[in-house]
Chain A
């Protein structure tokens, strides 16, 4: 038995974000590590040092476009569902009430408390979602500054590009570190979902796993009598296979960049 958690559009957003993020990571890290064979291998599929920059620019613009489309989507959701989508329990906007389950969750990890009954979007999920927002603004903004230095120089002094470069780089390292370590661990390494939580590709979460972790959400659905309407069968076999292939490809690329980046960090000129 499964429970519907993501719409097709939401899954498409994640897929496009995932693919373009990995391309940006490979081209960006590849250029940064161009002095090592690791970096040269990363940029090789994109046409080398200069080809990778061209890809990085185009995919960067695509990501910003995707971000704008997502903002439009958010406005539509708020327009359609009204106040409920902002302050309701299904909202992904963080609120003060998230603090208590967060602390209780940490308490549970330490063996001091019972597992908190989490609602639809747990605190770490909210953090992950909004982290992309802040990353988009910082990396996208500095990326645009660096996109065309000659045009940028018309609006700000050239040294702004020194600053933008470092902000871009550190924020990108933060984003990659978070995705390739923390996000991957949450989605793949937890016993509840091992070896992979397919929900973001199939849109369906396991009912049992959800009951164990998102007790408040399930209780709310049951109370409102909606549980029956959101349950669904298992995703089809091809869909599950595709989910595994896509998911593990992303893991492989991400871990390759993470491990290669860490091992070669001392061989590059920063």
Chain B
């Protein structure tokens, strides 16, 4: 090193020989090309851009019993977790979605549960704080029977269930999130298995209690008045 600096001082920085040496060492020390410099040839290249959801949900939500969604509303439009223009991609996907709430008056001022009150009564919402839009998506919300809906049974397990239940299959998606009240007679039409299972179990429980509650009560009372016999003594 001392010899090099002596040479530099002697020859000066303008000496071409050392200038090339300096440049070569810069190039060697520079970092390689960054991942961000990759070329994006197609908007469909990234899965994120074709996904129905960016994972960011609308500002307003159902807020069941104080359990509130923990995510933050987006600060600026166009800046999300996706690296590509997700707004564009969403619009592209969404133009095929049918809007179930089209032409509803004051729709923006309403919450989901204002109309779909009974649908908030599910364990995903009540016990885990999952909000409507985390599964049903942002606007426009299509009916689950709409072909392009994310909740259409042909794709709900991949597009909705597996967001949390990694590895969910179509059978898994047959779990009834909006479970009908098993006690209601109307359940017999939509979910007969649940209806019968519920009432058979209730019948077993009722029979057991109906037998043993009075039995135990009578017994306790009777034993209070039991006479102690002499032959009991040993």
Query: A208's contact among B175, B222, B233, by CB below 8 Å, is which?
Result: B233
Query: A154's contact among B171, B182, B223, by CB below 8 Å, is which?
Result: B171
User: Known: A159-B174, A181-B213. Contact between A154 and B222, CB under 8 A?
Assistant: no
Contact B208 A156 (CB under 8 A): no
Contact A153 B182 (CB under 8 A): no
Contact A150 B193 (CB under 8 A): no
Chain A interface main SS type: helix
Cβ-based interface call for A216 (8 A)? no
Contact A192 B172 (CB under 8 A): no
Binds B, one of A79-87, A169-177, A254-262: A169-177
- What residues on A are CB-neighbors of B106 within 8 Å? none
Residue of B nearest to A211 (CB): B232
User: Known: A161-B175, A166-B182, A269-B126. Contact between A109 and B204, CB under 8 A?
Assistant: no
> B191-220 toward A: CB 8 Å interface, digit per residue (1/0)?
101100110011011001100110110111
Binds B, one of A18-26, A182-190, A239-247: A182-190
Cβ-based interface call for A162 (8 A)? yes
Residue of A nearest to B198 (CB): A166
- What residues on B are CB-neighbors of A149 within 8 Å? 165, 172, 175
- What residues on A are CB-neighbors of B167 within 8 Å? 150
Cβ-based interface call for B16 (8 A)? no
Cβ-based interface call for B17 (8 A)? no
| Cα–Cα, bound, A254→B33 (Å) | 66
Chain B interface main SS type: helix
Residue of A nearest to B181 (CB): A270
- What residues on A are CB-neighbors of B234 within 8 Å? 1, 207-208, 211
| Cα–Cα, bound, A17→B98 (Å) | 56
Contact B191 A109 (CB under 8 A): no
Interface residues in B3-40 by Cβ distance below 8 A to A read none
User: Known: A167-B201, A174-B205, A212-B232. Contact between A154 and B169, CB under 8 A?
Assistant: yes
User: Known: A153-B171, A174-B205, A186-B216. Contact between A212 and B222, CB under 8 A?
Assistant: no
Q: How many A-B residue pairs have CB under 8 A?
A: 117
Residue of B nearest to A108 (CB): B222
Cβ-based interface call for B102 (8 A)? no
- What residues on B are CB-neighbors of A35 within 8 Å? 65, 126
Cβ-based interface call for A163 (8 A)? yes
Cβ-based interface call for A157 (8 A)? yes
Query: B169's contact among A153, A159, A171, A178, by CB below 8 Å, is which?
Result: A153
Cβ-based interface call for B105 (8 A)? no
Cβ-based interface call for A65 (8 A)? no
User: Known: A34-B127, A159-B191, A211-B234. Contact between A109 and B218, CB under 8 A?
Assistant: yes
- What residues on B are CB-neighbors of A170 within 8 Å? 198, 201-202, 205
Smallest Cβ distance from B47 to chain A, in angstroms?
Answer: 22
Contact B194 A110 (CB under 8 A): no
Cβ-based interface call for A191 (8 A)? yes
Partner-A contacts on B (CB < 8 A):
65, 121, 126-127, 165, 167-169, 171-176, 179, 182, 191, 193-194, 197-198, 201-202, 204-205, 208-209, 212-213, 215-216, 218-224, 226, 229, 231-234
Q: Give 29 CB contacts A-B under 8 Å.
A: A49-B127, A108-B222, A109-B219, A109-B221, A109-B222, A115-B226, A153-B168, A158-B172, A158-B176, A159-B175, A159-B194, A166-B194, A170-B198, A170-B205, A171-B204, A174-B205, A174-B208, A181-B213, A181-B216, A182-B213, A185-B216, A186-B216, A186-B219, A191-B223, A192-B223, A211-B232, A212-B226, A212-B229, A212-B232
**Interface pairs A-B: 10 shortest CB-CB:** A158-B175, A153-B172, A158-B174, A170-B201, A174-B205, A109-B218, A153-B171, A109-B222, A157-B174, A191-B223
